Amino acid sequence: MKKYLIAALALGPIAGIAHADDGDSVTLYGILDVAVGVVEHSANASPLFPATVNPVSKVSTKFQSPVWGMFNGGISDSRWGIRGNENLGGGMSAFFDLESGINVPSGNLNNAAGSIAGSNNTVGAASALNGQLFNRGAYVGIKQDEYGALSFGRSTTLGFDTIVNYDPIFAAQLFSPLGFSGSYSAGGITEGSRTDNNVKYTNHIGPVNFGISYSFGGVAGKFGDGSTFGANLGYEANGFGIQATYYEARDAVHSGALTGANAVGGAGIGANVGTLTLNDDEDFMIAAKYAYGPFTVKGGYEHYELKAPSDPVAAGATVNYFGFTGSLTNTVFTSKNNLYFFGGDYKITPVFDVALGFYDTQTMQSTGVAGGNQLQYSVLADYHLSKRTDVYAGYMFSKFNGAAFNGFQSTNYIAAGGMRTLF
């Protein structure tokens, strides 16, 4: 009995204890989300990649067969975390959050870099979740009711925060390109959807919200290298919302790999992730939504550009990419991209919701850049068994057009059903 009491006292601070009298709390929380389904054209599923499969990006014509399996995070990336709040008085409080993304079917930490360096012909693509213990977030901050919140550490971009609330398919990881790829919230650099060394300020005055963020690059003698800047301004009231975001990054490292192909001996996890690019990037997005009764309509437009870096590297340069080695090259030609998205959802009952979404991602043809566009059509049905547990079924069809997709499959689809529970 004595040992059980000691264990309870030791675990008490992380067991979701909240003190109503002083507002202090530390909460253990998480989401477990697993789906079973099929992707029409795909490399082998990866036990490391956050979504297990890649139903969004272009697929080589050598991948003809469908892949059936268990996939991580149909709607929400699976995760666990610890968050806390301390009441400092006078409407002020201190807060923190530590959050780790996991692949439930395999039990691994989300590690996109590991999947890129993994076995040949295994799914791998860029992500901000690359094997860090707290890959989804690690920050501490202070907030005040009137003056807003200021945080320090690894946190999401303001564009990512907007996408979560304005994507017609709820930023579903397997059924929405916005939910699958963080590139849409970080100027085309997927690794940038969550930013290290970030100072982030957010506030709202009545229905108006605004925010600003800056991340330090940490490069000796070169203050701006590897840095990012973001800003947001929005309005939400009476069922209507509109948000505008801006983001720029200087000398950002990006992987364009789509399948693992660099492992030593062609099996397991190698030491090399292949060729990486160094970019400057810039992004502007505007999104809106309107809710009327059980209906909600959402849509938006985004323009982002990948440009030559401000501080280019010398030929033959290598870089540490989340614990792996990659050869680094400079982007030479500017890639200009537009994204249009539209859709919404209808609550058939308070516990049953159906959402539809359409996405058109366009790359403008220019010197050194092949043009093309990818169209995605999505439907998601979600039924809540309780406040914490739901079951769902989703389908997304992709159509690829233009010279940018020569040598790749012209279509793809994913169909899957799954279960999600929150704790």
Do the domain assignments include residue 12? no
- DSSP-derived secondary structure letter, 313: P
Per residue in 37-82, pLDDT (tens digit) is: 999 999 999 999 999 999 999 999 999 999 999 999 999 999 999 9
Beta partners for residue 148, in sequence order? 144
How many structural domains does the chain have? 1
CA-CA distance, 141 to 167, in Å (whole number)?
A: 27
- Output the six-digit token pair for 159: 């564009």
Whole-number Å distance between alpha carbons of 86 and 395: 43
pLDDT, tens digit, for every residue of 88-146?
999 999 999 999 999 999 999 999 999 999 988 999 999 999 999 999 999 999 999 99
Is residue 267, in this structure, part of any structural domain at all? yes
Which residue range(s) make up the domain with 301? 37-340
Amino acid at 298: K
Instruction: Give the bridge partners for 159, in sequence order.
Output: none
Q: Is residue 345 part of a domain?
A: no
- Tokens representing 275? 């060729």
What's the CA angle centered on 251, arms 247 and 253, to 5 degrees? 95
Mean pLDDT by 10 residues, the chain (423 residues): 38 40 86 98 96 96 95 98 96 97 98 93 94 98 97 98 98 98 93 97 98 96 95 98 98 90 62 94 98 98 97 95 96 97 98 98 96 98 98 98 96 98 98
Q: Are 250 and 222 in contact (CB under 8 A)?
A: no
For residue 405, is it within any domain?
Answer: no
> How far is the C-alpha of 115 from the C-alpha of 219, rounded, in Å?
27
CB of 285 within 8 A of CB of 162? yes
**For position 125, which CATH number holds?**
2.40.160.10
Q: Is 277 inside any structural domain? A: yes
Residue 26 counted as domain residue: no
Q: Does residue 20 form part of some domain?
A: no
In a domain, residue 306? The reply is yes
pTM of full prediction above 0.85? yes
Q: Which of 261, 256, 263, 259 is nearest to 278 (CA)?
A: 256
